[in-house]
Amino acid sequence: MTTLRIVQLYPDLLGITGDRGNVDVLATRARLAGHDVVVESVGLGDPSPAEADVIVIGNGPLSAVRAVRDDLAARSAWLSAKRSGGASLFAVGGGAELLTEGIDLLDGTSVDGLGMLAARVTRTRTRKVGYVVAETVDGRLVGFEDHASEWSVPDAAARYGRVAAGVGGIAGGFETVAVDGVWATNVQGPALPLNPQLADAILLRALGDAYATTGAHEAIDVHARAARAEIERLAASKHFTAIKL
């Protein structure tokens, strides 16, 4: 039996869009596959755990992004080492933006990112709010987006999903970056309860052949499928709302 170690960074500051729900899904699916799970929360100034198989960074406002930026940068070598060792990194919204080369703000200033992703974020005056559906190699990614930003991702191979409904966070009609064990998304709500196929991809990276779904997974996935079908229906029938700031 394998023990999966999940580390959630800054849950008190970056956790405004149900990000603990993403942790719970990963933990539940790993347990259903027969693994022990340890979940550890790490805050500002806390030591980085020696062991980490999945690292989750949640969403938060610009004030929170600024508050954690230097602390996260100090963990850059740790994050890179864990990633190189096979760990998965799942980041949402503001937390995901910090993994890029930087965030350009409306006032002309910027927040330096860690440069783990070959991408750059520009904050915009248009807030994208509504359901989003994107086609990915792992199946349809569905959920809710609520952000005032646009990502520039030059490497087409890193653009995980092509938007089928909604707008998406990446210029050109794409959503979510996925490259070398890192998934960075603007799908909120949280994302993983609605997208078990993405949770499985994250766990498969972390656990390898030791991870396999079972009938117990199928028993809970029927609920996700029902919710996904309703979101896809609403996304196709309702116009996307963009709020001008």
Q: Map out the domains of the chain with their CATH numbers.
A: 3-244 (3.40.50.880)
Single out the residue of 148, 192, 155 nearest to residue 172, CA to CA.
155
Q: pLDDT tens, 186-238?
A: 999 899 999 999 999 999 999 999 999 999 999 999 999 999 999 999 888 76
Instruction: Please tell me whether 127 is known to bind a ligand.
Output: yes
Q: Which residues contact 54 (CB under 8 A, 6 or more apart)?
A: 4, 5, 6, 7, 26, 87, 88, 89, 90, 202, 203, 206
Q: What is the pTM of this model?
A: 0.95
Q: Is the pLDDT of residue 242 over 50?
A: no
- Identify the DSSP state of 101: S
Q: pLDDT tens, 92-119?
A: 999 999 999 999 999 999 999 999 999 9
Rounded CA-CA distance 142/133 in Å is: 5
Diameter of the chain by CA atoms? 52
Q: Is the pLDDT of residue 131 over 50?
A: yes
Integer-rounded Cα Rg, in Å, for the chain is 17
Task: Give the other-Cβ count within 10 Å of 46's Cβ.
Answer: 13
Dihedral of CA 19/21/22/27: which sign?
Answer: positive
